[in-house]
């Protein structure tokens, strides 16, 4: 069996600006953006100085998750500091509470009117923005090509399917992947980890990959050989994965969220996004098995 691949990653270009977020409820949130594209934005806000609306949260009397429902679907105004841009309308489509640190919130959304004028202005603000779809490799596994070559050499069994988004499909396909891993000689003590990894990739597609009717499909591709699995889950929404700038990633490193789980339980993993087209999360794992060459 090949040695466990070494994990080396590239980070995508950062775009750090202070922002203000004006919500429908006359609440203003302060934070940063690290990720503005021509159609979407991701911001990281601090709730500590928010108004009375979040008083209970700030005082520790209510979980942050309680405000998630209030924010999803809202149209908010984004003001990027020091850039001379008029506030931009966007619809909040993703809210992630920082459940350990308590006061930070990740908010992602799409611009309501991403017209030519706005795109031009955004390109002036961030010259790295390119018009049209582009692939952004949020996390790149350098060990993946070797692993796939190994699977080809072993004549791995391929399993591909596409299904509509829905929690029952997440559960059914999670259990299917688990059964496939058991059939391909993954030992009992590794099966639960494979189940969690599959769940994580599928839940990501379920939660963030169904923004428009007709585009709520999820594709699952698995390659399996004795004691080896590669799993890729693709959704067709193309909402960019949140990649926190270094200091925030450092801060979040102990939050034990889904990404930590992929990092801890797989040999390596990768996320690729073409904004507005697809997002694909994949992982691979190999264990010693009786029939490993």
Partner 1 sequence: MKAELIKHESGRNTYALKGEIVNSADFAFLDACIEEKLSVHLDLSGITYINSSGFGGLVEEAMNFTEARLELILSGLAPGIRKTLAVLGAEELLHFKD
d(CA 183, CA 180): 5
Which residue stretch of 12-20, 28-36, 149-157, 191-199 sits at the interface with partner 1 (rule: CB under 8 A)?
191-199
Quick one: which segment of 10-18, 214-222, 231-239, 254-262 binds partner 1 (CB under 8 A)? 254-262
Q: Is 250 in the site for partner 1 (CB under 8 A)?
A: no
Q: Is 75 in the site for partner 1 (CB under 8 A)?
A: no
Report the nearest approach of partner 1 to the CB of residue 87 (Å): 32
Q: Does 55 bind partner 1 (CB under 8 A)?
A: no
The verdict on 291 binding partner 1 (CB under 8 A) reads no
Site for partner 1 in 83-112 (CB under 8 A): 99-100, 102
Interface residue with partner 1 among 200, 216, 240, 267 (CB under 8 A) is 200
Min separation Cβ 197 and partner 1, Å: 10
What binding mask, one character per residue, do residues 132-171 give for partner 1 by CB under 8 A, x or -?
----------------------------------------
Nearer to partner 1 (CB atom), residue 12 or residue 68: 68
Comparison of 116 and 188: residue with beta carbon closer to partner 1: 188
Tell me if 187 contacts partner 1 by CB under 8 A.
no
Parallel, antiparallel, or unpaired: how do β-strands 268-274 and 136-139 relate? antiparallel
Query: Among residues 119 and 261, whose Cβ is nearest to partner 1?
Result: 261
Residue 133 vs 257, nearer CB to partner 1: 257
Q: Both tokens of residue 215?
A: 């585009």
DSSP-assigned states of every residue in the chain:
-PPPPPP----PPP--EEEEEE-TTS-EEEEEEEEE-SSEEEEEEE-TT--GGGHHHHTTSS-THHHHHHHTT-EEEEEETTS-PPPEEEEEEEEEE-TTTSSEEEEEEEES---HHHHHHHHHH-TT--SS---EEEE--TTHHHHHHHHHHTT-EEEEEEEE--HHHHHHHHHHHHHHHHHTT--HHHHHHHHHHHHHHHHHHHHHS-SSTT--EEEEEEEEETTEEEEEEEESS-PPPP---HHHHHHHTTS--HHHHHHHHSSEEEEEEETTTEEEEEEEEE---TT--
Using CB under 8 A, pick the residue from 65, 75, 164, 291 that binds partner 1.
65
Smallest gap from Cβ 257 to partner 1, in A, equals 6
Chain positions contacting partner 1, by CB under 8 A: 60, 63, 65, 99-100, 102, 188-189, 192-193, 195-196, 199-200, 203, 254, 256-258, 260-261, 264-265
């Amino acid at each position: 069996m090949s040695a466990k691949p070494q994990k080396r990653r590239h980070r995508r270009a950062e775009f750090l600006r202070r922002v203000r977020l004006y919500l429908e409820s006359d609440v203003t949130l302060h934070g940063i953006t690290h990720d503005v594209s021509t159609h979407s934005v991701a911001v990281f806000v601090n709730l500590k100085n928010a108004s009375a609306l979040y008083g209970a949260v700030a005082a520790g009397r209510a979980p942050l998750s309680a405000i998630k429902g209030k924010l999803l679907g809202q149209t908010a105004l984004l003001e990027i500091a020091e850039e001379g841009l008029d506030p931009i309308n966007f619809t909040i489509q993703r809210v992630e509470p920082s459940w350990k640190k308590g006061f930070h919130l990740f908010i992602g959304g799409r611009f309501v009117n991403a017209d030519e004028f706005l795109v031009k202005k955004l390109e002036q603000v961030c010259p790295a923005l390119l018009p049209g779809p582009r692939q952004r490799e949020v996390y790149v596994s350098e060990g993946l090509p070797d692993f796939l070559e190994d699977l080809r050499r072993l004549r791995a069994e391929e399993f591909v399917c596409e299904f509509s988004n829905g929690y029952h499909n997440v559960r059914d396909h999670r259990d299917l992947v688990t059964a496939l891993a058991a059939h391909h000689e993954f030992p009992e003590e590794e099966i639960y980890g494979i189940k969690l990894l599959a769940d994580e990739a599928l839940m990501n597609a379920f939660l963030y990959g169904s923004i428009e009717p007709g585009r709520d499909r999820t594709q699952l591709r698995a390659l399996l050989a004795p004691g080896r699995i590669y799993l890729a889950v693709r959704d067709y929404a193309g909402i960019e994965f949140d990649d926190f700038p270094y200091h925030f990633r450092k801060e979040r490193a102990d939050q034990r969220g889904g990404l930590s789980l992929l990092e801890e339980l797989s040999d390596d993993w990768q996320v690729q996004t073409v904004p507005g087209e697809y997002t694909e999360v994949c992982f691979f794992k190999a264990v010693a098995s009786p029939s490993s060459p």
